[in-house]
Every structure is written in C-alpha cells, then in structure tokens.
Structure 1
Amino acid sequence: MLEANQRRRRHEASHKCDECGQTFTAIFSLRRHAQSHTGVRPFVCSIPGCRQAFFNQSDCRRHEKSTKRHKGLSHTVSVSP
C-alpha cells in the first residue's frame, strides 16, 4: 500500500514518522498519524451497542454513517456533517 501512496503523491514526502518510518507530504498528516501510535482512542461510536473507538473524529464519523457496520444495532443517531 505504501508504494501506491508514493505513486499518487504530487509533492515530495518530507515528513517521516520516527515510530514506523511512514512518510507524509504535510506536517498535519504526520501529527494526525502520530496519534495512532499512542493507543489513545477518545472518539467512541455513538450508536447504541457499538463500542468501537477511534483516534480521530473524522474516522469515527465515517464509521457512524456506515449502516453495514451496525447490523442488528439501532441506527437512530443522526450525525451532523
């Protein structure tokens, strides 16, 4: 997958993660990625019965909008954009 990322890039990836070596074109992306190494997942799915947690809000929102991930659970929570 990393090779595919390299081919899609328009700018040189000059920011490198000290933990895993993954590279990024923007410092913001590196900082967001670094959160994944902490193990802290403060954003929890708001669908009743689902306890999935995420390290960033955008991943949590995308998950909450997915009805196939919540089969058998009440999917009545409206997620604002």
Structure 2
Amino acid sequence: MNLIIFLLIGALAGWLAGVVMKGRGFGVLVNIVVGVLGAFFGGWLLPKLGLSFGGDMGLFITAFIGAILLLAIIGLIKKA
C-alpha cells in the first residue's frame, strides 16, 4: 500500500512540475514518470542539503522539488 501511495504522490508531483516548468515538460505520461523518479532523486538529494520533510505532504514536496530539478536537468541536456 505504501508503494501505491508513493507512486501516486510521485505522479501528481511530476504532473504539477510539468505544469510549473512550461516549455520543459514532455507530456503528461513522461512528466508522471519524471515525478516518480524525482521522488527518488529528491529523497536522495534534499537530506544531503540538510532539508527533510516528514509525512505524506513532505513526500509530495520532496517529489515535486526532485521532479522540477530533473525536468530542468533534462531540459539543459536536451538543448545541448
């Protein structure tokens, strides 16, 4: 059940990150995948920066930040 919640939160974060990063999104499905990957990325990166958020809302914030960072990195690589 926790995995399903994690995937749903990551999917929502990816979709929202795609909306926020207009012009850098890659469509709804890819943005959802980026959100799930962003949850992993954010969960790895943010504690290294001294940031941590608890609970489901914290997971959403972490996934959202991670998804935005991944979309920005992918956008930079895509331009090069």
State the structure with more CA Rg.
1
Greater RCO structure (CA 8 Å; 6+ sep) = 2
Higher strand proportion, which one? 1
